[in-house]
Structure 1
Amino acid sequence: MKSSNELRTMLRSIDHRSYPAYKSLAGQWQFDRYVLSIDHVQGDPFASPSSLHVELAHKVDGFPAVYYKEDCSRIALQDYLTRRLAEQFERYNFKAKGSGKSGLMSISRCGQEILERSACEITETKLIVRFHVGFPAFGRSVNAGDMEKILFDFLPRCVEFGLLYARQDKKKVEETVHLAEDQEALRGILAKEGLVAFVANGAVLPRKSGISDLPMAGSVPFTSPKTLERTFTLPHKGEITGMAVARGITLIVGGGYHGKSTLLEAIQSGVYNHIAGDGREFVLTDDTAVKLRAEDGRSVRDVDISLFINDLPNGKDTKVFSTEDASGSTSQAA
């Protein structure tokens, strides 16, 4: 494996050459704390940015092994590190100048859900983080000076402050792992108790807007009806009380703007764990659940819907019902 000094020398040697000269940098390079792999080099500054990844041995990243021993905590820690590195990239994004996507530094954008992503992977021996960089250009020529800033100044700082345990808020890391373990424990309780969903008292279900998944400020916290209220004990949080939904058919009714859809959407998203501060941290649903909804306008052929709909104004037979444009209720009945 070649050293970072060799990378610097090679980079300087291609300065102002045609942009495809960047492809000569592909490969693995040993830096002080990590191995940098340049996996794919974009062919043009206006093309999709180049793909890179870094690998850190666990003795370097310093995270306690207990934090990634179980799948639930490992995935939560990976999610945390992806967000941390994204924050660091934002500080240096496009600080290297040039044409097209020159200077872009990015990693997978995380939503409110905690998901296993290819962007960050923790194995038994190392931490692997994958991201994208827009290699700087003068028009369509190599801008080695700004590329050197990215590889030897910006990226090492991002790795240090985004991926090293010594630079993290240790209490926040611990809380992230403990939340994941509590969520996993609660999912186990639901399965054991024959429940399909749980909505904790105090949960914030409404979202900021129709295009934002952030919690709505000033919304009314959820309170379970007493008939469905259950209390469970979690390993870190302790006792938690909320609405438990049993297997079978549960009907949710209410007037307009009473929160029926909001509750259903929260339960729907409960197949995923959510980050601290989302408001739905303990809104959990059986992770095999799927959403079914009535579909306006679909074709229905030869279906018996007489149990739900009959005596149609046009006298149409609902025991062998067909239509090319079903209404919502007809579609649901079918």
Structure 2
Amino acid sequence: MATADYLLRAFRAGVATHARQNRGHQGSGSFQPLSLPPQVLERNIVSFEKETVQIAFHISLPGSADNRVLGRQAMQMFAQELTGIVDTLNAWIAKTAQLKRHCDVIEDMVVLQNELAQYGLMAFVGDGAILPRQSGVSQAPLKENAVAFYAPDQMAVEVEFKNTGRKRGLGIRPGVNVLI
């Protein structure tokens, strides 16, 4: 799950860097990668078979007003832009330390979700988390003037993570809770 998420984010970065989107009539002629929220979820659009990785995505061929495919522009999409996207994927894969960190964090998250009850918790918010969002419709964390979250001492707990060690944060216990 973690490696697949990493590859989808790399693919999206490659599209943002290399693809000239909406080159045809009415916005046709674009790569359409999955829009990824910050949450990491299991998805079926990445598959691993022996020594190959397959990523499914939509592509809209560039068309004209009279419903013909614009061949030269389509060729550019496949010959140049897709090659650049794959190069970005390979560059991200080559960053093994970054890939390992991504996988370690996701593994720790999944293990904690499965072990919350053992800690007597229903949720955990780690110290240093940036909780404010960029806007009311954005899931991206606030970048400017953001204040990191730290649990008050009376509500703080420590949990042990396999990959990233012991972490302190707010332990939310079952019952009635109000967060503002």
Q: Which runs of 4+ in 1 moved over 4 A?
A: none
* Deviations 1:152-197 (CA, angstroms, capped at 9, x unpaired): 22213312322x3675422211110010122123224322223211
Q: Identify the residue that residue 35 of structure 2 maps to in structure 1.
A: 109
Q: Does 1:226 align with 2:153?
A: yes
Across the aligned residues of Structure 1 and Structure 2, the Cα RMSD in angstroms comes to 2.4
Please give the secondary structure, in 1, of the residue aligned with 2:8.
helix
- TM-aligned CA distance change 1:137 to 1:115, over 3 Å: same
Please give the secondary structure, in 2, of the residue aligned with 1:240.
strand
Please give the secondary structure, in 1, of the residue aligned with 2:122.
strand
- Distance between the aligned counterparts of 1:97 and 1:199, measured in 2? 44
Q: Identify the residue that residue 85 of structure 1 maps to in structure 2.
A: 11
Q: Identify the residue that residue 74 of structure 2 maps to in structure 1.
A: 147
| Bigger CA radius of gyration | 1
Q: Identify the residue that residue 123 of structure 1 maps to in structure 2.
A: 48
- Distance between the aligned counterparts of 2:21 and 2:152, measured in 1? 54
Aligned partners of 1:96 and 1:150 also within 8 Å:
no
Aligned partners of 2:33 and 2:57 also within 8 Å:
yes
Please give the secondary structure, in 2, of the residue aligned with 1:160.
helix
For CA contacts below 8 A with separation 6 or more, give which structure has more relative contact order. Answer: 2
- 1:241 Cα shift? 0.9
Unpaired runs of 5+ residues, structure 2, are none
Q: Identify the residue that residue 204 of structure 1 maps to in structure 2.
A: 130
Q: Report matched runs for 1:1-334 at 5 Å.
A: 75-94=1-20, 97-118=23-44, 120-125=45-50, 126-139=52-65, 140-162=67-89, 164=90, 168-216=94-142, 217-247=144-174, 249-252=175-178, 260-261=179-180
Aligned partners of 2:123 and 2:173 also within 8 Å:
yes
- TM-aligned CA distance change 1:146 to 1:155, over 3 Å: same
Unpaired runs of 5+ residues, structure 1, are 1-74, 253-259, 262-334
- 1:96 Cα shift? 8.0
Q: Size of the alignment, in residue pairs?
A: 177
- Distance between the aligned counterparts of 1:229 and 1:218, measured in 2? 24
What amino acid is the match of 2:79? F
- TM-aligned CA distance change 1:237 to 1:104, over 3 Å: same
What amino acid is the match of 1:205? L
- Distance between the aligned counterparts of 1:114 and 1:178, measured in 2? 13
- 1:210 Cα shift? 0.9
Q: Which has the larger share of strand?
A: 1
* Deviations 1:71-126 (CA, angstroms, capped at 9, x unpaired): xxxx12211211211121123433684323332112111121112234x3233534
Normalising to structure 2: TM-score of the pair?
0.83
Please give the secondary structure, in 1, of the residue aligned with 2:6.
helix
- 1:128 Cα shift? 1.9
- 1:238 Cα shift? 1.1
What amino acid is the match of 1:143? L
- TM-aligned CA distance change 1:244 to 1:170, over 3 Å: same
Normalising to structure 1: TM-score of the pair?
0.48
Please give the secondary structure, in 2, of the residue aligned with 1:213.
coil
- Distance between the aligned counterparts of 2:22 and 2:153, measured in 1? 59
